[in-house]
A and B are shown apart, each in its own frame.
Chain A
Amino acid sequence: MEHPKSYKTASKTQKKLVMWFLFCTLIVLSLLSITLGTYEISVFDIYFTLGKHLTPFYTDVPINKLYETIIWKLRFPRIILAIVVGMSLAIAGAVYQSVFRNPLVEPYILGVSSGAAFGAALAIVFSGLFLGVQVMAFLFGGLAVMAAYYLASQRGETPVIMLVLSGVIISSLFMAFVSILKYTADTSALREIVFWMMGGFYYATWEDVVYIIPILAFSFAILWYNSWKLNVLSMGDEEAKSLGVNPEKTKFIAVALATLVTAFSVSLVGIVAWIGLMMPHAARMLLGPDNRYVIPTAALMGGTYLIICDTIARTFATHEIPIGIITSIIGAPYLCYLIKAKGKVLFGGA
């Protein structure tokens, strides 16, 4: 047999170094992002306000109430939320791509975004009648995925092709429902629905952050623990079985947790496109396809990417730009580049 030229691959140590580097980038960018904003505050005042909250020092020093509100109640939770949502979507993307054995899958494929959009639209149009927008979005997002999963399962098995099909069916059904609501909604409600669907961190509060962080931490831990099984699963159900990995059990855990974090993210900030598709790719390009590295790396990159996008969203123009627009405008050229330059290796085509 002929031997193709040998490839240079990163060693374990190199991979760990790359992950530490990404972690530091994330921290530095967050600290940079907090200094940017429409209201000018001196860098010293910003870090002083932050330091007062995050460290046990300066507790008795009086603080400017306005700065307190802008830095601690607006910008800081917003940055944390951007990181957490970026991480959630990136992890969910990596997991979905492995389960679906397809690098072009994104976390919305089973209908979580359309379900959530319908839930949100219901809450907006009939405000006061149902629960709040976030709760409704979460409930219907979860409901849509459950429906798709149930539709796809036959005799205890859930073939990937059936999952894709039922995801498409459920998504278009819920999008049709959303259209009905849009059609009947009055102008202000319509505007609100459209804005919700483009995504944004305008209303980020500490409350959101406190809810989503433990959920993300829990899901991340379980998914990372199962990351090797996800590698095996991406070889196909039968092969996974013969390698001692129960495909149905692993698939169910993976889809359930990835959906949980996605539904939470979508319910808090609306539909943010591209993160779940792009970040796992970028992670794979850096460190190879082993999910033990892809999942944490994609998470770090997702957080970083969303901080950059959200900082642009809130500082670029006098009015806020919906985040979905920015992630797409930056994301599309990146993916074009990926397909042109690395398509062969990345997508396994010959």
Chain B
Amino acid sequence: MLTVSDLSFSYGHTRVLSNISMHVEKGALCGLFGPNGSGKTTLFKCCLQLLRHYQGAIRIEGRDISQLRVEEVAKVISYVPQEHRPPFPYLASEVVLMGRSPYLGGIFGLSKKDEYIASDAMNLIGISELADIPYTTLSGGQRQMVLIARALAQKTQAIFLDEPTAALDYQNQHLVWKVIRDIAEDGMTVLACTHNPNHVSWYCDHAVVLGRNGIIGTGDPKTVMSQDMLNQLYCGSCAIRNLEGIPLILPQDVICRSGMVKNGDIM
């Protein structure tokens, strides 16, 4: 589905990405994980063609997307930015309808059909009752859901989410991840970047870990999210525990304080 080969990118003289190669299968929920400054967002923006002057190739289903025009890219990949407050109080339904912009045509612009697709998208993730509320007055979690509905209305082959749960409370984080999970289950290819290692191991089918010097792990989260990798990223400040078969990544000092360390050794 998505293939990145030998991608390099520099802002001026600062090299942010060098020789990144990765592959995401169709219908997979791929977690792009890495610390601040590892170039996650830059990689994202290159894939979305928001940054154009990169070296290497990005292909979707074999098509080099650097050849596509802005409208064409928007029919292939949709983008869910971090939730934000726009300057004008558009209704949630209007924000979702913006997802139909790549399909604008004719004098009348958006058609009845576009409105149906937009309201379907809201239905699908269960936020129809937000339709007539100004987007600016919604809570952070609700705004994130509206943006996800907008990406669905775009009817693309892949959805990219930029730290979808970064600004949300604990309950909403999991609500949003559940929705993302459902979308992937329906056959959509999803790439989500996140700071939270637990989210990768709990929800994703595939993990790509970016370190400061490029990719340091890619594959099944169960194997990628290892103690070794965590040590490399976090200098040994985190450890993995197992709770009824679910991996749990915990900060070392929390483990120490709660006495979970048995016989002084860290698992």
A residues sitting closer than 8 Å to B (CB atoms) are 1-4, 6-9, 98, 101-103, 225, 228-229, 231-232, 234-236, 238-239, 241-246, 284, 288-290, 292, 345-348, 350
Contact = CB atoms under 8 A, between A and B. Distances in A.
B107 interface: yes
Contacts of B99: 243
B74 A243 contact: yes
The 9 tightest CB contacts between A and B, nearest first, are A244-B102, A244-B74, A242-B79, A289-B88, A244-B71, A348-B136, A243-B101, A246-B70, A101-B87
Contacts of A346: 89
Contact of A288 (B81, B91, B130): B91
A350 B87 CA distance: 12
23 contacts: A1-B142, A8-B132, A101-B86, A225-B109, A235-B86, A236-B86, A238-B50, A239-B79, A241-B48, A241-B74, A242-B79, A243-B154, A244-B72, A244-B75, A244-B103, A284-B88, A288-B89, A288-B90, A289-B88, A289-B94, A346-B89, A347-B87, A350-B85
A234 B87 contact: yes
Interface of B: 45, 48-50, 70-75, 77-79, 81, 84-91, 94-95, 98-99, 101-104, 107, 109-110, 129-130, 132-134, 136-139, 141-142, 145, 154, 172, 175
Given A4-B138, A231-B98, A239-B81, A9 B70 contact: no
B138 A228 contact: no
B98 A345 contact: no
Contact of A244 (B73, B84, B130, B138): B73
Contacts of A347: 87
Contact of B86 (A8, A241, A244, A348): A348
Nearest to A239: B81
Contacts of B154: 243
Contacts of A231: 90, 94, 98
A282 to B, nearest CB: 14
B89 A6 contact: no
A348 B85 contact: yes
Contact of A245 (B70, B138, B142): B70
Contact of A4 (B98, B137, B175): B137
Contacts of B73: 242, 244
B36 to A, nearest CB: 19
A6 B132 CA distance: 7
A4 B133 contact: yes
Most buried by B among A1, A232, A242, A348: A242
A290 B81 contact: no
A2 B95 CA distance: 20
B98 A235 contact: yes
Contacts of B77: 242
A2 B90 contact: no
A241 B70 contact: yes
Nearest to B71: A244
Given A1-B139, A1-B172, A235-B86, 8 more contacts: A1-B145, A3-B130, A228-B110, A236-B84, A242-B50, A244-B102, A345-B89, A348-B87
A349 to B, nearest CB: 9
A1 B81 CA distance: 20
A289 B89 contact: yes
A290 B78 CA distance: 22
B86 A234 contact: yes
Given A231-B90, A243-B101, A348-B136, A1 B50 contact: no
Contacts of B137: 4, 345
Nearest to A292: B109
Contacts of A350: 85
